[in-house]
Structure 1
Amino acid sequence: MLSYDELTAPERALWDAFPEGRRVDLRTGVPEDDRVAGGGGWGAGRTVRGAVIVALLLGGNAAQPGAVACLRLAGARISGRLDLAGAEIVNALWFEGCWFEESVSFLGATTRTLAITDSRVPGIEADSARIEGNLDLRRSVVESLASSPFNHVSTALSLSDARVSGGMLLNGARINAPGGWAMAAGGLAMEGGVFCQGGFVARGQIRLMEAQLPRGLHMRGARLECPGPRGVALSLDHAVASTLNLSDGFTADGTVRLRGAQVSDKATFEGAVLNGPPDGDGPALLGMLMQAVDFDFTLAQPPSGTVDLRAAQVSYLHDNEHSWPDVVELDGFVYGSIKVDEAGERREAVGRRGSVAHRVAWIRRSPGYTPQPYEQLATWYRKAGHDDEARCVLLAKQRHRRQTLPRAARAWGRLLDVTVGYGYRPWLAGVWLLALTFLGTLSFSTHTPTPVQRGEGAPFQPLVYTLDLLIPIGGLGQRTAWYWPNDSVQWLAYLLIAFGWVLTTAVIAGVTRALQKS
């Protein structure tokens, strides 16, 4: 236990101020001398040992009656390690403009508000900590520390399984762990929001897997850099959040992972830049199984890597001309509505000129053929009351599918496409019926048929005979009364019968759909 006589002058000032919660400010007032980057050169007059701070927080100098004890220190060089692992701290801690010689440990500790602002810290370890208040690291520089029992890679800010009853304030902070984890916070449980804005920069991966963020993650304008191969800049796998605000110039040099994330309100990338891994080997956004009510993907520029939204579910999708890269994974992606951003206005995408061609081209960015994206798009058009657009989408689905079939099946598919549009263009079948009627009438009028029974039946009429062949239901009395000794003409009759079945069925289906729509 340290005795009062062993304390230096700045340590005695802190010791005496602690019971009353007074702030001790060791800054000189000269900006050049107070820059935290040069804190390693601050002399004894501005140095406080970490052991003295630990002693105070563990009851070394009791609070005065009528006062709230609190540690408030500004402009100090903290020498030695500030090790409070497992401690139960009943006082708030405020460090401002301080330079820490070694890393800080709150591993498994319970504490009040912890504020280290405008400071430089070589690593903060707070795995399984309980913070009854805010964690405030605004404008501080946090460097990577060696691997911990929880993390086997270098980590700057370690908060795995921590609980914070307030908010986490990282606005303007710089978290540096190149090649490692800038923030390792898997299983983090927040009651307040996480704010990484105002010039926040992270070098290294931010890991928030399975984090509970009821007040959301706010990273407007933040920059995340993860330069390693297949680097992941932000990982929110299976996290639960009210809001994800990655907008207004948010930049990620590495993959943003939202696999299985659940967002109860809005996930927005409005004005964001997703560069993907620097080596180009990996997606810019991995959103498999993600769930969100409102998904705003109106980016500032097209992503450099792929976008994977397989099996994701959103109620409202917003996109613009910069949203989609050359490769988009959409199999299983479900959405209720699509709105586009044009000239700063959000408008419903359905019913706009070129909408179907644009959306089909969007689906065709997916590698290979999968039917679900087409079915989903057609469903959206139908719900909006645009059945014609829905049929165009389903026709595009059949044409895409045809490319995956064997040669014979592709040939049959082309025939169905040309003749009846796979059943989605009944008017085309009507055109063919008219053309075949004209062809048959002209051909049969230049030849003489033979009656089945002489002297019986109606006289031969080429137009009525052609219609009798083409209409498969009922009969007009011509087809059964005449036959052709000329084989070529007889084969024409057989072909008209075959085409009549296919084309008439398509026309009936089209009329039925029209009547149902009305």
Structure 2
Amino acid sequence: MLSYDELTFPERELWDAFPEGLRLDLRTGSPEEDRVDEGGRWGPERRVRAAVIAALLLGANATQPGAVACLRLAGARISGRLNLAGAQIVHALWLDGCWLEEPVDLLGASAHTVVISGSRVPGIEADAARIEGVLDLRRSVVESLDFSPFNHVRTALSLTDARISGGVLLSGAEINAPGGWAVAAGGLVMEGGVFCNRGFVARGEVRLLGAQLPGGLFMKGARLEGPSERGVALALDNAAASTIDLSGGFTANGTVRLRGARISDSLTFAGAVLNGPLDGHGPSLVAPRMQTVDFDFTVAHPPSGTVDLRGAQVSHLHDSEHSWPEAVELDGFVYGSIKMGEAGDRREAVGQRDSVAHRVAWIRRSPGYSPQPYEQLASWYRKAGHDDDARRVLVAKQRHRRRTLHPAARVWGHLLDTTVGYGYRPWLAGVWLLALTLLGTLSFSAGTPKPVQKGEGAPFQPFVYTLDLLIPIGGLGQRTAWYWSNGSLQWLAYLLIAFGWVLTTAIIAGVTRTVQKN
């Protein structure tokens, strides 16, 4: 137990200020001398033992009636480990511009507001902690620690299974754990939001697996440096949030992973830079089975790695001409509408010039053939009242599928495409029929056939004779009544019969949709 006589002069000042919640500021007023990164050089006049801070927070100095006790300390060099593991901390902690020699241990602790702003901290362990207020680390530099009992990876800020009723404020903070976990917050339960806006830098993976973030996650303008080799910069697997804002220059040098994440309002990457892992071998965005209402993917420039949206569901998709990389996984991706444009400028993609060609090219970025992306796109066009565009998409689907077939099936596919557009353009059959009828009529008008039986049958009519050749079912009485001694015209007659069968088969196959699907 510490006694007042054992305290140094700055520790006595802190001890006396604590009952009334007064602030003790040990800074000199000189910007050069007060730089936190030089805190290791501060002398004994600015040194406070962590044990003194812990003793005060745990009630070593009785509070003064009519005042709210609070530990407020600025510009101090704090020696020793601030060990509050498992403690019931009833007073708020405010450290500003301090330099801590050893990590802060809040493992399993219960606390009110914890503020360590503008400071240098060699790691914060707060697994399973309960904070009835905010955790404020704005403008602080938090280095990696090695003693987390829940993992064996170098970690700077550990909030695994923590519960925080207010917000987590990290804007302007720098969290460093190169090759490890900058933030480990799996199972974090929040009532407020997590704010990592402009100036926030994380070196190492930011892990929020299964986190509950009803107040949202805001990383506008943040910079994440994942592990160099195939590393993940941000992991939000199975997290639930109201909003995830990764916009305004947000930069991820590593994979952003949202596998199974559920966002009740919006997920935005407007103006973001998704570089993927630095080794260039990993995806930029992995979001299979992700669910959100608004998905804004108007990134600053195409991601360097693959974007995986397999099984994702969004109500409204916003993208631009340079949203997508060379490879996009879209199998099972479901959306209600698409709006295209840059950030802040949204317009319906349907009906725009070259809209179908642009969207089909988007689908073709998927490796291999899958029918679902085409069906989904066609469904969207159909709901928007653009049936012709929907049919163009479905024809593109069949053409893509044709590439996967064996040679004989590909030949048949080409034939269906040319004659009836796989059944989605049956009017093509009419064009072919008209052209062949005209060809036959003109050709057969130049010659005179011989009757099969003289004096019997209807007079020869080139037009009716041509139709009789082209229509394989039934008959008009001309084909069986006349034949040609002219070899070329006889061969033309055979060809028209063959074309008639092909057209009839193609029409039946297309209209009744007996063409092999998918």
What's the counterpart of residue 329 of structure 1? Answer: 329
The one-letter amino acid paired with 1:34 is D
Deviation at 1:455, TM superposition (A): 4.0
After superposition, residues 104-503 of structure 1 pair within 5 angstroms as 104-341=104-341, 345-446=345-446, 448-449=448-449, 451=451, 455-471=455-471, 475-479=475-479, 481-482=481-482, 488=491, 491-502=494-505
* 2:89 equivalent to 1:86: no
Distance 2:302 2:397 in 1: 26
Shift of the 394–504 alpha-carbon distance from structure 1 to 2, 3 Å rule, reads closer
Deviation at 1:431, TM superposition (A): 1.6
Q: Please tell me whether the aligned partners of residues 416 and 506 of structure 2 are also in contact (alpha carbons under 8 angstroms).
A: no
What's the counterpart of residue 64 of structure 1? Answer: 64
Q: Please tell me whether the aligned partners of residues 472 and 500 of structure 1 are also in contact (alpha carbons under 8 angstroms).
A: no
Distance 1:508 1:2 in 2: 91
Shift of the 506–470 alpha-carbon distance from structure 1 to 2, 3 Å rule, reads farther
Q: Please tell me whether the aligned partners of residues 49 and 78 of structure 1 are also in contact (alpha carbons under 8 angstroms).
A: yes
Distance 2:23 2:228 in 1: 43
Deviation at 1:147, TM superposition (A): 4.1
Distance 1:147 1:112 in 2: 24
Distance 2:32 2:497 in 1: 99
Corresponding residue SS for 2:11: helix
Shift of the 147–464 alpha-carbon distance from structure 1 to 2, 3 Å rule, reads farther
The one-letter amino acid paired with 1:216 is G
Shift of the 139–507 alpha-carbon distance from structure 1 to 2, 3 Å rule, reads closer
The one-letter amino acid paired with 2:325 is P
What's the counterpart of residue 12 of structure 1? Answer: 12
Q: Deviations over 1:144-174 (max 9, x none)?
A: 0114111211100000000000001011100
The one-letter amino acid paired with 1:499 is V
Corresponding residue SS for 1:95: strand
The one-letter amino acid paired with 1:491 is Y
Deviation at 1:350, TM superposition (A): 0.4
Shift of the 410–32 alpha-carbon distance from structure 1 to 2, 3 Å rule, reads same
Q: Deviations over 1:61-90 (max 9, x none)?
A: 121122211111111111000000001111
Structure 1 residue runs of 5 or longer lacking an equivalent are 511-518
TM-score, normalised relative to structure 1: 0.94
Report the more deviating stretch, 97-106 or 493-502: 493-502
Q: Percent of aligned positions with the same letter in both sequences?
A: 75
Structure 2 residue runs of 5 or longer lacking an equivalent are 514-518
What's the counterpart of residue 516 of structure 1? Answer: none
What's the counterpart of residue 55 of structure 1? Answer: 55
Deviation at 1:209, TM superposition (A): 0.7
Distance 1:480 1:262 in 2: 71
Q: Please tell me whether the aligned partners of residues 134 and 168 of structure 2 are also in contact (alpha carbons under 8 angstroms).
A: yes
Deviation at 1:42, TM superposition (A): 1.2
The one-letter amino acid paired with 1:212 is Q
Distance 2:273 2:511 in 1: 51
Distance 2:408 2:473 in 1: 30
Shift of the 351–8 alpha-carbon distance from structure 1 to 2, 3 Å rule, reads same
Deviation at 1:16, TM superposition (A): 1.6
Distance 1:273 1:389 in 2: 32
The one-letter amino acid paired with 1:144 is S
Report the more deviating stretch, 50-59 or 242-251: 50-59
Shift of the 73–429 alpha-carbon distance from structure 1 to 2, 3 Å rule, reads same
Report the more deviating stretch, 473-482 or 61-70: 473-482
Deviation at 1:452, TM superposition (A): 5.9
Q: Please tell me whether the aligned partners of residues 312 and 333 of structure 2 are also in contact (alpha carbons under 8 angstroms).
A: yes
Deviation at 1:26, TM superposition (A): 1.1
Deviation at 1:479, TM superposition (A): 4.1
Distance 1:187 1:411 in 2: 56
Deviation at 1:445, TM superposition (A): 3.8
Corresponding residue SS for 1:93: strand
What's the counterpart of residue 513 of structure 1? Answer: none
The one-letter amino acid paired with 1:374 is Y
Distance 1:4 1:62 in 2: 13
Distance 1:354 1:260 in 2: 33
Deviation at 1:133, TM superposition (A): 0.2
Q: Please tell me whether the aligned partners of residues 471 and 500 of structure 1 are also in contact (alpha carbons under 8 angstroms).
A: no
Distance 1:3 1:72 in 2: 20
Deviation at 1:494, TM superposition (A): 3.0
The one-letter amino acid paired with 1:497 is G
Deviation at 1:475, TM superposition (A): 4.6
Alignment length, in residue pairs? 510
The one-letter amino acid paired with 2:327 is V
Report the more deviating stretch, 143-152 or 457-466: 457-466
Q: Please tell me whether the aligned partners of residues 424 and 510 of structure 2 are also in contact (alpha carbons under 8 angstroms).
A: no
Deviation at 1:454, TM superposition (A): 5.1
Distance 1:169 1:185 in 2: 14
Deviation at 1:480, TM superposition (A): 5.1
Distance 1:342 1:394 in 2: 28
Distance 1:176 1:342 in 2: 33
Q: Please tell me whether the aligned partners of residues 426 and 509 of structure 1 are also in contact (alpha carbons under 8 angstroms).
A: no
Shift of the 85–507 alpha-carbon distance from structure 1 to 2, 3 Å rule, reads closer
Q: Please tell me whether the aligned partners of residues 429 and 503 of structure 2 are also in contact (alpha carbons under 8 angstroms).
A: no
Shift of the 305–508 alpha-carbon distance from structure 1 to 2, 3 Å rule, reads closer
Deviation at 1:488, TM superposition (A): 3.2
The one-letter amino acid paired with 1:165 is S
Distance 1:123 1:504 in 2: 72
Distance 1:131 1:483 in 2: 98
Q: Deviations over 1:179-222 (max 9, x none)?
A: 11100000101100100013111111100010000010000000
The one-letter amino acid paired with 2:202 is A
Deviation at 1:503, TM superposition (A): 5.9
Q: Please tell me whether the aligned partners of residues 445 and 462 of structure 1 are also in contact (alpha carbons under 8 angstroms).
A: yes
The one-letter amino acid paired with 1:494 is I
Shift of the 211–313 alpha-carbon distance from structure 1 to 2, 3 Å rule, reads same
